[in-house]
A and B are shown apart, each in its own frame.
Chain A
Amino acid sequence: MVQKLLKKPKLIVILFFGLFCFAVSNAQIVVKGTVSSAADNTPLPGAAVIVSGTSIGVITDIDGNYEISVADTNATLQFSYVGFLPEEVKTGRQAIVNVSLVQDLLRLDEVIVTAYSEKSKTEISSAVVSLKADEINKVTVNSVADMLSGKVAGVQVQNSTGQPGSAGDIRIRGVGSVFSSQKPLVVVDGVIEGSYSPNDIESVTILKDAGATGLYGSRAASGVILITTKSGKSGKSLITAKVSHGIKRPEFGNFAVMNSEELFDYHSQVFSPTVFKSIRPRKLLNQDYNWIDNTYKQSQLTTAYLSATAGSEKSNYFLSVDYLDDNGTLITTNYKRMSVKLKVKNNLGEKLSVTSDISGQFTKDQYPHWTLSQGAFRLMPWDNPYTSGNELVYDVKKAGWYSNVPNNPYHSVQYNRYGNYGVGSSGNFAVNYVIIKGLSINSRTSLSAGFGKYEEIESPLSYEGEPVGGRIFNSINFSYSYGNTTLLKFERNFGIHSFSGLAGVEGGKYIVEAGYGGNGKGILPGQEVLGVSGSIEKATGNKAEVASFSSLAQINYDLSKKYFVTVSGRKDGSSKFSPNNKYGTFYSASASWLMSNEDFIKQFSYINYLKVRGSYGAIGNETFPDDNYYPYFPAFSAGYVYNNQTAYYPSNPGNMNLTWETSYPLNFGVDLGLFKKAEINIDYYNIHTKDLLFQDPLPLSQGFDFQWKNVGEIRNRGIEIGLNATLLNTRDLSCDFNFNISSNQNELVKLSDKPGVENIIISSSSQRQILEVGKPAFEWYMPKWKGVDTQTGKPLWEVIEYDAASGSEVARDTTSDYNSATLQPVGSPFPKFNGGFGTVVSYKGFSLNVAFSFVYGNKIYHYTRQEIDNDGANTNLNAFKLQDGMSRWEKPGDIATHPQPKIGGNSNAHEYSSRYLEDGSYLRVRNLTLGYSLPKKIVQKIKLAECTFNLSVDNLKTWTKFTGMDPDVPLYRSDIWTLPGLSSFKYPINKQYLLGIEIKF
């Protein structure tokens, strides 16, 4: 009985007997040694060493050392360690047995953090990917999103911008609902939307299908990312220190604007010879100021990280301090962050344990006025920011600037400041009580509060501040939230039948008070507090709340460790819907068959793991973009005034019938391990989303541009393939390779409340995308560019003529009249496939890690080019430099890509059309890291446990045809001003070189 009970969690056995073994030892042979990793020779602390056939065992200490007594020279020692293949060694007469364990690629015994619980890999029936810190934290980044770039099939990460402090954006499995936020739910140590410092991450689990996410119900419509932060470890204390310093350079890709001479030549084509001569004197060629090089410069960043952990069996703690000072490549931009974290776990007796986790963070973010960030690309090389006396130009009109800008941005940045300051803290308290073995109650309460201040300071010495005698704008935000999850968990085995499960409730509230402050005018140069201003123009401030409540339950069953079934259900309430539509009930079920545990598979020795699995569920979604807390509410808003009186205006048509969007994801997957060296995961999914939450466009004459509605059904289907293989694994040299690829297709299945209407067209400014029933959703919708008329030099677009009666297409022709061109679907913003691959090569202490990511087959609308590659439409800003293969029409017969330039543009050729739609495919070396660990002997001499050096390079090289700065564009609608696949001016990404050292002692 006792034997059977204790057999289960291996570690307990080991611990128990490890402590016990000295007591029972009597005059036996003592064997000592070190257990290390074969790959890099680093010691493995906590590895189990058991005398075969007995219950005697020990675990290795912090340096991987062990000491064990064996009965005689026939004894066999079993060495095992999580994540490594076990090994057996006959001791013979050896007194010292050193063992190096080979990494087990499949990690079957690995414990994976899943929704509300932990499971071993074999038990999981759904599409789940788990990554350990060492697989992802090579890149120095601000968020987990950037860590996952190119690492996981079905996960897409947008690099966003190079602005310091900005985090990448992550999307899992294509586009379900373009209008609701598609951000996956991030759960940190069980706390929904908890905060973390990237350095503290121990593991990341990505839940992709309903089987895995089902338990999070409505919140998990776009997948879930579970982050587990490091915890205290029992045993000797361990201190980790990491310092890194690096430089970064702005990366402009293929994008370039003209220099003085190029611009001069271009204008000579725009203007007639006489006009040109009178307004563009040749002396302009003596002036060639490079605004981009002087605005975006090489910059530096520094990070420092310190963590400490120690503990006994009763209690342990983990403490970390993290610091980042990141200077942006755009002059004056800077981001500083400091965070601290303390996690303490106490075992109060055998049954009760309490974990408390407290963290705090401070951030400071300086960013520039847009006249500087965008000005660099627009200002003309003929304008010099400095006078001949080397002073900064103040009045650009007097200085006779050619550029159509109101001021000299370099003059303003001397005095003005735009910044954000944030302080946040959160506490997370969990109590776990074991009622009886197999039944426990777990309650987790989280509290968090954030305080932020946004400020704009415009000195009276600057162009912006001068007219009002200097200006200070403050907006102060305060938010707090609380939540609780209380679960009853059980686990029980009856012979070959194992049951486990949980039931519980979860709820919480988020309250934000935002925008307190005002606009103060009349300050002295250098002053920075609102109170000193002579007049406060308008006080602002608002408040909003969101509440949720859910009850949930899950049951897991497994038979003979071969057949696994999980069923979960959840009822969710959300304050975002009207009183009648607040609650939704969701469920999921998954099943898997571990075929490699069947005898008929076991006979194939090369198959060491084979599992097939499937899942289905109904998942709700209630997320809205732009902090939309009351989307159902037909609202009139105040805030603006007229004649110093309150004024209410219609702000939201509201929709009392608005209700949960529900997606029904079906998933099939196979996990296959071969030759103990390779693992392949293949998943197929079909996600049918109904009652799509959609900003349904209205004719403008209704007074609103859209209304939130549940409009129809969309389907996403796709395949994901992941491969991990150890190509070579010897004592000194190893080589791993990983590859993942995914492909997603979407289709609008139905539009529900619009009989007879077969499509919806969405727009942002003049860009449009169409959703047509039965066709891929969100295709770009615009006039189709047909090049330049070789005879006239005018633009050509396609006209489709339709038969008036039947509506069917009769003919296709071209036109030079923009307004006669036919709006039509011209390509998808979504890639045909995307993924990543990488390799890790280790030789002795050296390791080389290269990670690639790729995207293929998407169309990007290059809005920046529309603005500055416009055939003379704007002769008072710099222009796009023509790239290889591009040419301007000059005379009849010319085959050109660009129409003849004319003042004000040539026949609206620069208006919205597929002329600016470009192939977005790319391949990028996302990261390259060269590491070196000092040999153990040297490390020990200087009394350290470990010492590693790293040199990493981010965004080393990108191959793409895209003419813009970065083909990595958002593939979702982050707000109503954008569309997926739109590339406009942005803070350029960085090529970053970072040298780091990590010491453990």
Chain B
Amino acid sequence: MKYFKINTRINIANSVSLLVLFCVVFCTLNSCEMDLTPYSDVTSETLVDSDEGVKLMANGCLMMMKEQLTNDTRNMYVRHLFQLTEFPSDNVIIVKSTPDNLWYSFNREHIPDQFNTTYLWYTGYKIIMETNQVINKIAIDEASPEKLKQYVGEAYFYRALVYFDLARVFSFPPSHGTEKPGVVVRTTIDGDDSKARSTVGDTYKQIISDLRIAAGLLSMRDNSNINESAKYGNKWAAYGLLSRAYLFTQQYDSAIYFANKLISEGPYNLEPRETYINSFWNSSSSDEGLFVIYYDKTEDKGGASIGSMYNGDGAGWGEVFPSKPYQNLVARFKNDIRNQFIDTIFSGTNVAKYPGSSFEMFYINKFSNQDGIATLNSPACIRLSEVYLNRAEAYAHTSQNQDALNDVNTIRERAGLSGEELVTLTNLTSGHGYADVLDAVLTERRLELAFEGHRRDDLLRNQIDLNRSYVSAQNMDGNTDIYPYNGPRQVYFIPLNELIYNPACVQND
């Protein structure tokens, strides 16, 4: 017992010092900073706090159109947009079936769970969400700094552009009835998960409203030149999109008004014939590209690029070729420069056949060759030629036939056509075989805007059936394939993950 006691006493001293140690450890550990925030991420509040932050958000919208944001490298906003709109058209064929869902654009066996429509929808709304953050958190008035007006204006521009893209892919144009379902329109930050699709009419009202606000706020980013400015939302591109939007809503006077405004007041000009082909390859130096999604020369997306399906050079796949009807159309006039968008691939002196198939090989190079790289390209979302032809179509619908043909001929002349190759009211039917002026305009649109995703819209908008009675992998025997303009598969299904989690959203027929 004695021994035990002595021991205890000695240890009281020790215990005290240990207790101190214990407290020191406790305090050291406890003082560890527990309120940690990310090093690389910030909140939207931090961003909207400065003009520079708003600019970086505007950049974010454009980046999302350009980049591959998921593990699946095929997933890219512009790739899906251009493929989903062009591949169902009568301009192209595919030489074989593929596990890529782009196949369904050819055989029209759409499903709601396509990865391409899902990604386009998802990323589109991600961009819209970012624009909503800017638009709802920043109050703009006359006195606001020009820079801030530009950045906020861009937000309106990108929101309108994305709603327009989504409306084209997932809903019928207003000419099929404005009461049909459009897309889910979200303009606030904290909306409920459940939100019904707006009508087509309201969807286009939103697009036009955003574009008009954008046109008022926008000038040219950082007062740059027209090429640099075209990499961002800008005033002139807003006018151009307004002409397109009013064409869709059949408000032809307004379409003509904004086309006029752009053509007469804007600094953009039609690219001369000499540099025309290159203006697609290196669109950021184009004089007529109003708005391009810019890829730097280090940002080649290889086999995931838009051009990779059209052009087998370099990292390209080269599996989608021009359809026979389109080839015949463009080949009617040898000096039409637009023939140069199609490269015939030879094997010796014969036209090469795609391996394991009987398809002759023709590569489309419209989305290629930026900085000499086969799969690199900065696609133009709107260019001046289209605006001329928007105006032409509006003129045609309002019986201003000569004005319509003038615009058509402006485009034809630039392509290198002259004399009887141009369309006049006299040679319209006899010489060229057009049914009417609208037919001439739509054919010119088909020639000029080929592979840029407009052909399907043109037919749909004007309620013309789609004729794909030619050989393509989904129609190996070249059977008659005429799909009615109002057929349900003219538009894609709303992605399943929207329908499941947003019960108010209805599916397309």
Contact = CB atoms under 8 A, between A and B. Distances in A.
B109 A700 contact: no
A755 interface: no
A256 interface: no
A630 B36 CA distance: 8
Contacts of A543: 39-40
Interface in A574-599: 574-575, 579, 582
A810 interface: no
B41 A443 contact: no
B32 A507 contact: yes
Given A401-B355, A903-B473, A702 B231 contact: no
Nearest to A441: B18
Interface stretch (A190-198, A270-278, A845-853): A270-278
Contacts of B121: 700-701
B32 A402 contact: no
A645 interface: yes
Contact of A699 (B25, B29, B42, B502): B502
A651 B41 contact: yes
B275 interface: no
A549 B22 contact: no
A435 B300 CA distance: 69
A698 B121 CA distance: 13
Given A275-B476, A647-B63, A867-B99, A763 B497 contact: yes
B67 A538 contact: no
Given A435-B11, A636-B57, A873-B97, A506 B29 contact: yes
B421 to A, nearest CB: 37
Interface in B96-127: 96-99, 103, 106-107, 109-113, 115, 118, 121-122, 125-126
Interface string A762-781: 01011000000000000000
Contact of A544 (B38, B61, B473, B505): B38
A629 interface: yes
B322 interface: no
B41 A435 contact: no
Interface in B177-234: 184, 186, 191, 193-195, 231-232
Interface in B491-509: 493, 495-498, 500-502, 505
Given A699-B193, A699-B497, A643 B99 contact: no
Contacts of A763: 497
A703 B126 contact: yes
B97 A700 contact: no
A275 B57 CA distance: 53
Contacts of A401: 355
A400 B312 CA distance: 13
Interface string A679-719: 00000000000000000011111111100000000000000
Nearest to A874: B99
B497 to A, nearest CB: 5
Interface residues of B, number: 101
B298 A535 contact: yes
Contacts of B477: 272, 275
B59 A904 contact: no
B428 interface: no
B99 A546 contact: no
A64 to B, nearest CB: 38
A703 B130 contact: yes
Interface in A841-877: 867, 870, 872-877
Interface string B23-38: 0011011101111111
Contacts of A701: 121, 125, 184, 186, 195, 498, 502, 505
Nearest to A505: B26
Given A648-B56, A904-B97, A904-B107, A633 B358 contact: no
Contact of A648 (B26, B42, B115, B193): B42
A477 to B, nearest CB: 14
A436 B25 contact: no
A908 interface: yes
A640 interface: yes
Interface in A812-827: 818-819
A547 B502 CA distance: 37
B186 A575 contact: no
Most buried by B among A402, A633, A649: A649
A641 B15 CA distance: 60
A436 B7 contact: yes
Contact of B473 (A280, A484, A904): A904
Interface in A886-923: 903-905, 907-908, 911-912
Most buried by A among B1, B110, B130, B298: B298
B97 A636 contact: no
Interface string A547-558: 101010000000
B59 A648 contact: yes
B179 to A, nearest CB: 21
B474 A699 contact: no
B131 to A, nearest CB: 10
A549 B28 CA distance: 10
B34 A582 contact: yes
A862 to B, nearest CB: 16
Interface in A295-330: none
A378 to B, nearest CB: 10
B358 A279 contact: yes
Nearest to B7: A436
Nearest to B25: A486
Contact of A697 (B56, B66, B303, B501): B501
A761 interface: yes
B225 to A, nearest CB: 14
Contacts of A436: 7-8, 11
Interface in A430-447: 433, 435-437, 441, 443
A977 interface: yes
Given A467-B314, A636-B41, A907-B109, A649 B64 contact: yes
B34 A874 contact: no
A647 B56 contact: yes
Contacts of B232: 643
B56 A646 contact: yes
A708 to B, nearest CB: 14
A397 interface: yes
A636 B502 contact: no
Contacts of B69: 640, 649
Contacts of A652: 41
B488 to A, nearest CB: 10
Contact of A402 (B38, B56, B356): B356
A579 B474 CA distance: 58
A650 interface: yes
B44 interface: yes
A545 B194 CA distance: 36
Most buried by A among B28, B30, B111, B355: B355
A535 B299 CA distance: 13
B459 to A, nearest CB: 23
B341 interface: no
24 contacts: A400-B355, A406-B317, A505-B29, A507-B30, A542-B39, A575-B34, A629-B36, A635-B42, A636-B44, A643-B62, A646-B59, A647-B62, A648-B53, A648-B60, A650-B60, A650-B130, A699-B500, A699-B502, A701-B195, A703-B130, A705-B497, A766-B113, A873-B97, A876-B98
Interface of A: 1, 271-272, 275, 278-280, 397, 400-402, 404, 406, 433, 435-437, 441, 443, 467-468, 484, 486, 488, 505-509, 521, 535, 537-538, 542-547, 549, 551, 573-575, 579, 582, 629-630, 633-652, 654, 697-705, 761, 763, 765-766, 818-819, 867, 870, 872-877, 903-905, 907-908, 911-912, 977
Given A404-B96, A700-B498, 13 more contacts: A280-B356, A406-B315, A406-B317, A544-B39, A549-B32, A633-B41, A635-B42, A641-B63, A647-B63, A700-B121, A702-B125, A703-B125, A766-B113
Closest 8 CB pairs of A and B: A703-B129, A507-B29, A699-B502, A635-B41, A647-B59, A647-B63, A904-B97, A649-B60
